[in-house]
Amino acid sequence: MAIPEKQVPAVHHRRIGDITVCTVSDGYLDGSMAVIQNIPEAEAAQLLRDSFRPVPRRTAVNTFVIRSGGRTALIDTGCGTAMAATGGKLFENLAAIGVAPAEIDTVLLTHMHPDHSNGLADAAGRPLFPNAELVMHEAELAFWHDDAAMAKADEMSRARNFMAGRTQVAPYKSRTRTHTGGEVFPGVTAMPFPGHTPGHSGYMVNSGKESLLIWGDIIHVPEIQIPRPEVTMAFDIDPGQAAATRRRVFDMVATDGQAVAGMHMHFPGFLHLVRRGDGYAMINDGWYPAM
């Protein structure tokens, strides 16, 4: 009997009323603890150990396929091939659920960081979603094309974020649509969550009496930032605003009992947030065979 050497395809379906949402994993990234800010590194590491998580941090990368109104959207495109061998699994996992890239008519970006937009185009600059319209917040597109902002960034950010982002979105120039919030796809409403980046956005999926907030990068390291929402990341463009937005969103979803999903939540990424004393705790959704 052969011993398995890898997991089955990392996909997970969920119904939100008449809309189908499918988490499609792009893999994961292992990264430095040094990017976790506003907390002593030893304390951050202990929070991970207390939750039986790897140290240094391991960050899941999720994308979401939305089927609604006879159309198909993809929220974020993952790492592509330029970040780590553990990422870039989007296309093999899309194939596992029978979704061809040409079938996707809309790509919704939460923001243009490389682990969210590097899967838009190949190394030759060809669009990997040949029939898709690209949709993002107007402030997001403007910021990463701002030469003055790029000049203020360090060399790594100029190459990895500004230039790579521009290269990835360039093939979609004639079919890019920007928003400032509101409905952007049938049953999907964009919600600006600025701070991590200027145009960082979540997407609320609504159908009938059910809803799901796909909140993008409200958090990167759940075991640290849920109990300690003041903790920020080195790649937050405005750390203070990012922390304030996180607290606002935490309060909203805990008050409303809102189901949420995130790009850096542990696969498949669905959870609820509840208040525990003066803070919050996450309740990960169970897995059920019926959708």
Rounded to a whole number of angstroms, the distance between the first and last alpha carbons of the chain is 32
Question: Is position 248 within any domain?
Answer: yes
Q: How confident is the model at residue 289 (pLDDT cuts 50, 70, 90)?
A: confident
Range of the domain at 203: 11-284
pTM, entire model: 0.97
Question: Is position 121 within any domain?
Answer: yes
Question: Is position 257 within any domain?
Answer: yes
Q: Can you spell out the DSSP letters for 106-166?
A: EEE-S--SHHHHTTSB-TTS-BSSTTPEEEEEHHHHHHHT-HHHHHHS-HHHIIIIIIHHH
Q: How many domains does the chain have?
A: 1
Question: Is position 229 within any domain?
Answer: yes
- Residue 191: CATH number of its domain: 3.60.15.10
Is it the case that residue 82 has pLDDT exceeding 90?
no
pLDDT digit string, tens, across residues 189-231: 999 999 999 999 999 999 999 999 999 999 999 999 999 999 9
Question: Is position 189 within any domain?
Answer: yes
Q: Give the CA distances from residue 197 to residues 48, 130, 175, 200, in Å, rounded to whole numbers and listed in that order.
A: 25, 27, 22, 5
Question: Is position 289 within any domain?
Answer: no
Contact assessment for residue 26 and residue 62, using Cβ atoms and an 8 Å cutoff: yes
pLDDT digit string, tens, across residues 163-173: 999 999 999 99
Question: Is position 214 within any domain?
Answer: yes
Question: Is position 1 within any domain?
Answer: no
